[in-house]
Amino acid sequence: MYELLIENIRSKVAISEAEEEQLKKYFIPKKYRKRQYLLNGGDICKYFSFVVDGLIRSFTVDDKGHEHVVQFAAEGWWVSDMGSFLEETEAMYHIEAIEDVEVLNLTKPAMEEMLNELPVMERYFRILMQKNIVTLQQRVVADHSLTAEEKYLRLMEIYPKLIHRAPQQQVASYLGITPETLSRIRKQVAEKGD
């Protein structure tokens, strides 16, 4: 249940066995069914979720009712509406299980308690957040400057297995292109690869 999380923590910081054991008490183990919502937009996001198994997406819905995928989160990734989670404001995002999902949920009070009692986790989250900011900045630049094909190749690099797990419509939505364009790009990329 905690192996992947501990592996993830160990990849960023040095953590003792006693600390590994202690951190378990802060996380709520939870399963969601395919298509179940972890968060409904407009609610207050109560959890910062570490994905142990399965695939999750976060998305927004515009005034016309169109969905825009913001993030995919598979095994080893964290997902949340951070603004809502930290500020306790209404969530901008919906978060949905694309597959049956197992996560470890962290509430804000549990997270605060953990960071106070386990300084090593403060360091872990600092490194995690740093990486997250870098990724977000790259994403902003990518959105402005990359072609659709380049965006697709970038996605393959970040989420190599995801391309085949997520519905193509959602992958297209993440890239900001139509499913038809995605299909054409995939063909082009496959042909180049041959």
Nearest residue to 69 via CA among 181, 177, 158: 177
In the bound state with other proteins, the residue whose beta carbon lies nearer, of 104 and 172, is 104
- Per CB under 8 A, which region of 27-35, 52-60, 160-168, 171-179 contacts other proteins? 27-35
**Binding flag, residue 1, other proteins (CB under 8 A):** yes
Q: Show contacts with other proteins in window 37-66 (CB under 8 A).
A: 37-40, 43
Residue 39 beta carbon to other proteins: minimum distance, rounded to whole angstroms:
6
CB 47 within 8 A of CB 84: no
Tokens representing 166 are: 């997520």
Question: What contacts 24+ positions apart, CB below 8 Å, involve 70-75?
Answer: 70/174, 71/174, 72/98, 72/159, 72/162, 72/166, 72/170, 72/174, 73/49, 74/159, 74/161, 74/162, 74/165, 75/4, 75/51
- What is the contact mask toward other proteins in residues 94 to 123, using x (rule: CB under 8 A)? --------x--x-x--x-------------
Closer CB to other proteins, residue 24 or residue 68? 24
Residue 88 lies near other proteins (rule: CB under 8 A): no
Cβ distance to other proteins smaller for residue 26 or 50: 26
Alpha helix stretches (DSSP H) within 39-167: 82-87, 108-117, 119-145, 148-158, 162-165
Q: Of residues 35, 68, 161, 187, which one binds other proteins by CB under 8 A?
A: 35
Classified as helix, coil or strand, 172 is helix
Least Å distance, CB 33 to other proteins, is 8
Positions in the binding site for other proteins (CB under 8 A): 1, 24-33, 35-40, 43, 102, 105, 107, 110
